Amino acid sequence: MSATAEGRLEARYAVSITGIPIGQGALMLDLNDIGYTAAGSATVIGLLKLISPGKGSAAARGNFVDGKLSPVTYSLNSESGERWEEIRMGLAAGTVRELSIMPPKPLPADRIPVTDEHRKGVIDPMSAMIMPVAGSGNLVNADACNRTLSIYDGRVRYDLVMNYERTESAKDVKGYSGPLIVCRVAYRPVAGHRPNRLQIKYMVENENIFAWLAPVAGTRALVPVRVSIGTMIGTLVVQATHFSSEPRARTAVNPAVK
């Protein structure tokens, strides 16, 4: 049985740290039995905008192969003041085939090198938002939470190890009022990072990373409704304020790029 049927999601998110609003974002997904498209954007808001104005967008397309994600393209555009970055990545069968990063930057000497092996068996950060669930039973169950996401963002290769924590009911999420599965998340850097940096050491030891997942109507896929990350200056929360999904009539069109 395929990982999904067919559905569409439109979601909006508010970002805060210690309760202070610092950003907002949006996510749009189209899913069917064959593939998916994902597009997201984020903007700095509030007082933080006066200190470090910034915005970004990302997009990904891919297929479902044996119930698993198989990304095809990934792109990221980000701006912060006069600084900007563009990342373009092409993948096939879980392996990065093409990579472009502009502008090019010198690599720190203490960085763990990323090898060709590190670019195999991976998904991009945008595709990682989609978590297919095999089978035909209830989507929101403990087993759906237990997975490892092997992610490569063009610079850093890392794993997110997820395990079931509990089940809750959605509150204050416009468009969704059903059950949520809460996953505890562990950050495991693999390559491309600087192991002696204080932030990396903190994240590796961080036991306060959680993700709340909700189903996309008409599909067998889960998507984060809330993410909470303990940081050195307080708790960072990404919370959906609008989460609207609906099943769609089946079509012969594959949203993914071959």
Q: What is the pLDDT tens value at each position of the chain, 258 positions in all?
A: 344 579 999 999 999 999 999 999 999 999 998 999 999 999 987 555 544 568 899 999 999 998 899 999 999 999 887 788 999 999 999 999 999 999 998 889 999 999 999 999 999 999 999 999 988 788 888 999 999 999 999 999 999 999 999 999 998 889 999 999 999 999 999 999 999 999 999 999 999 999 999 999 999 999 999 999 999 999 999 999 999 998 876 554 455 545
pLDDT confidence of residue 53: 63
Residue with tokens 């498209």: 37
Q: Do 221 and 214 meet the contact criterion of CB atoms below 8 Å apart?
A: no
Q: Would you call 202 helix, strand, or coil by DSSP?
A: helix
> Which tokens belong to 219?
């599909």
Closest CA to 144 of 176, 179, 116, 111: 179
Name the pTM for this structure: 0.91
Single out the residue of 51, 38, 190, 207 nearest to residue 126, CA to CA: 38
Domains identified in the chain and CATH numbers: 7-104+115-246 (2.40.360)
CA distance between the termini of the chain: 21
